[in-house]
Structure 1
């Protein structure tokens, strides 16, 4: 009863901290999860390369997925009696943690899908339903302020999604085809530690960003979001200002500290030359039209 799945990280168009509405888009780097179910009664998690990392999120994802689907008639796994289901969940990731690139959403999505695979339900469970299980687990584990349905839906479904995180409602989804450039400084920032009250002060700007995103003006929306939330969260807007003449859109991603720019390869090459002079790491990647998948 083992299962394997992966889900991508994502970048931000609209941060949901101000109004509860957000938008994000999938990027081409993954977190993979491996789940093995047994009758031990306990779920034990592990994160490759991080022996002391908190594994509550991925463990809760397995618990909730078994609770949701364990009795599904289509399941082929021969589960032990309810209450004694246990096992292990292990993740390995290309997505930097605490960098604003949706590592928690990617890990949650991958863990939920890997559990579905272990239950014999790969290709059967609805991806949007699976996404909501990961969001519930993230809230219970305390790794998100908003529930992060925007981030989770972009990671699970691929493309660009606009959501109402207060209702876990998908407002829009569209495929986008951008080259992306990511700059991640050495410092880290945890979403759960973000100053939500301060972010609420930029709600008028967030509402404008939402209007632009729903009208398909993603690049402009993204750039406006980045300027507003960099100010609200105390990050320098200088990397975004350096990029603006060359790209379609650029924003602080999530609650930072990473900055993501999107556009054509030629414009991003000019930005990359500037960003590589900064401390930290610069990565060229692509947007992804597909999201969570079985391995």
Structure 2
């Protein structure tokens, strides 16, 4: 019983840690997973190019699916993943991996899961595995569905889904360090709930670019760092920029026809470029 699954990355507009509601949009970086189910009660995980990475999330994902479908008779699995999403940078690598593994396990079991159900199962798994503070339902939806999503994470509800504006490319600045979820000062972030809520309302009203910056500035303040990359990006002509997730990557939106000029001004070191992914958002 072998199954395959794929999910994409995303960038934050609103960090859900502060008030439980989040927003983000899809990009075309992706993770692919293959799951071979076995009768033996052992789960083996092979994470391409990251052999030392924690495998709890992958193991918990398959275990949760087997718990939900006990009639399969399967008790273990061999999981392999490949990805071009940088890990622990705020680009939703964990959500993409969970989505892809859950989809691959469902495929191996011969069951069909709605993308939102994959996101809800993934939220349960992420909290159990200790890789998420809020369950990352916003991240799961942005990765799986594409487009711009607004979610209520505690209740695991998709509140709104809209297409991102056409004509923009995502530029992602990657510092030479990582920030693990366990190290994030969530209480400091929650102290800024009112400011983040105002940014959420801005995004919902259509000012996605301004909301990205305002949210990112709050996250930077919680971390005790300056939004240097976002400020520099805006000075170089970006339409919007802000720290993504818990960082340290900064998501930047640039008019596609000005991309080369922007990169010439901003610099091409520690930068990757991705397409905005709207999926079938309407």
Match of 1:167?
A: 155
Match of 2:249 among 255, 258, 266: 258
Q: Distance in 2 between matches of 1:180 and 1:199?
A: 25
Who is 2:24 aligned against? 24
Instruction: Give the structure-1-normalised TM-score.
Output: 0.89
- Summarize the alignment of residues 1-295 of structure 1 with structure 2, pairs less than 5 Å apart: 1-69=1-69, 71=71, 79-80=72-73, 85-121=75-111, 124-176=112-164, 177=166, 178-245=168-235, 246-276=237-267, 281-290=270-279
User: Displacement, 1:270?
Assistant: 3.8
Q: Which runs of 5+ in 1 are unaligned?
A: 72-78
Count of matched residue positions in the alignment of Structure 1 and Structure 2: 277
Cα distance in 2 for residues equivalent to 1:227 and 1:274? 22
Conserved 8 A contact 1:146-1:165: yes
Match of 2:277, SS state, is: coil
Which digits, 9 at most, give the CA deviation of each residue in 1:20-44, with x for residues without a partner?
1111111111011110001002222
TM-score normalised by length of structure 2: 0.93
Cα distance in structure 1, aligned partners of 2:70 and 2:27: 31
CA shift, 1:208, in A, is: 0.5
How far the C-alpha of 1:63 sits from its partner, in A, is 1.3
* Structure 1 outlier segments of 4+, above 4 Å: none
Question: Which structure 2 residue ranges, 5 or more long, are not aligned?
Answer: none
Q: CA deviation at 1:218?
A: 1.1
Query: Contact (CA 8 Å) 1:242, 1:274: kept in 2 or not?
Result: no
Q: Distance in 2 between matches of 1:227 and 1:281?
A: 20
For residues 55 and 145 of structure 1, the distance between their equivalents in structure 2, rounded to whole angstroms, comes to 18
1:276 & 1:41 partners in 2: Cα distance?
A: 50
Structure 1 Cα separation of the partners of residues 189 and 18 of structure 2: 5
